[in-house]
Amino acid sequence: GAVVSQHPSRVICKSGTSVKIECRSLDFQATTMFWYRQFPKQSLMLMATSNEGSKATYEQGVEKDKFLINHASLTLSTLTVTSAHPEDSSFYICSARASFPGGSSTNEKLFFGSGTQLSVL
Amino acid sequence: SQQGEEDPQALSIQEGENATMNCSYKTSINNLQWYRQNSGRGLVHLILIRSNEREKHSGRLRVTLDTSKKSSSLLITASRAADTASYFCATGRTGGFKTIFGAGTRLFVKA
């Protein structure tokens, strides 16, 4: 099946620094990627939808200047948490929706990265 | 805001028993999906059921969908300790592109 690689798996940083998280689709083209945030024992909260070659669409309440998303190629999207603070500590997960040439235009299934645990001291 | 709400929030059963989790949603959907998440990991897609389907099977999994009640259930038969995980339903909305996740059910299967 399709594989999404997310790095790093864990990062600890000081308050005020920026952290970049990468999400790569390894064996398929991901025209759309999604970034989620998850608190312990809670569900995934969609932060933004990242489309290759265009600006990301952020969900209500998510600061786009705080969480910078870049989807520069069909296989890579990055999330940068700028000037991180302790309240940004969370589990961040990316997912990708595949686009297979000649396949269905409605590829509903999502392929997830393994997540990044961010701890801001 | 979240679309799906699962119940129970937590479920503890003995190995070999069946586990049933329910999901309710609010708006019209194109499909409903169930995912599994092991602690501290990403999600794994289990099964997708479309809005025009009523039941679907995959191995030990059985999913039902009742669009009139806006609800779905996931049944795991003959559970194993390795089934211990959190299970989420997610909906793909009609005319939309986003997938919205419910709150999840934490399943613990005791050996």
List pLDDT tens digits, range B37-76. Answer: 998 888 999 999 999 999 999 999 999 999 999 999 999 9
Q: Terminus-to-terminus CA distance in chain A, angstroms?
A: 37
Residues from chain B contacting residue A42 (CB–CB below 8 Å): 103-104
Per-residue pLDDT of chain A (121 residues; tens, 9 = 90+): 678 999 999 999 999 999 999 999 998 888 889 999 998 888 899 999 988 888 899 999 999 999 999 988 889 999 999 999 999 999 999 998 865 555 444 456 788 999 999 999 9
Beta-strand relationship, A116-120 and A10-13: parallel
**Confidence bin at B103 (pLDDT 50/70/90):** confident
Residues from chain B contacting residue A112 (CB–CB below 8 Å): 35, 42-45
- For residue B107, give the nearest of B30, B26, B46, B55 by alpha carbon: B46
C-beta atoms of A43 and B30 within 8 A: no
Contact, B35 vs B45, CB < 8 A? yes
Instruction: Specify the pLDDT at position B92.
Output: 79
Partner residues linked to A119 by β-bridges: A12
Length of chain A: 121
Residue A111's alpha-carbon distances to A3, A84, B70, in angstroms, are 7, 27, 25
A50 vs chain B: nearest CA distance in angstroms? 11
C-beta atoms of A115 and B103 within 8 A: no
Residues from chain B contacting residue A110 (CB–CB below 8 Å): 33, 35, 43, 45, 90, 99
User: Which candidate from A106, A110, A114 shows the least CB-CB separation from B41?
Assistant: A114
Instruction: Specify the pLDDT at position A106.
Output: 44
Best A43, A47, A54, A107 residue to mutate vs chain B (most B CBs within 10 Å): A43
Beta-strand relationship, B10-14 and B105-110: parallel
- Flag whether pLDDT at B8 surpasses 80: yes
Under 8 Å CB pairs connecting chains A and B tally to 58
For B63-84, the DSSP string reads EEEETTTTEEEEEE-S--GGG-
CA B91 to chain centre: 10
Tell whether B43 lies on the interface with A, counting CB pairs under 8 A. yes
Task: Kindly state the tokens that stand for A22.
Answer: 């990468």
C-beta atoms of B88 and A114 within 8 A: no
| B73-101: pLDDT as tens digits | 999 999 999 999 999 998 877 655 677 88
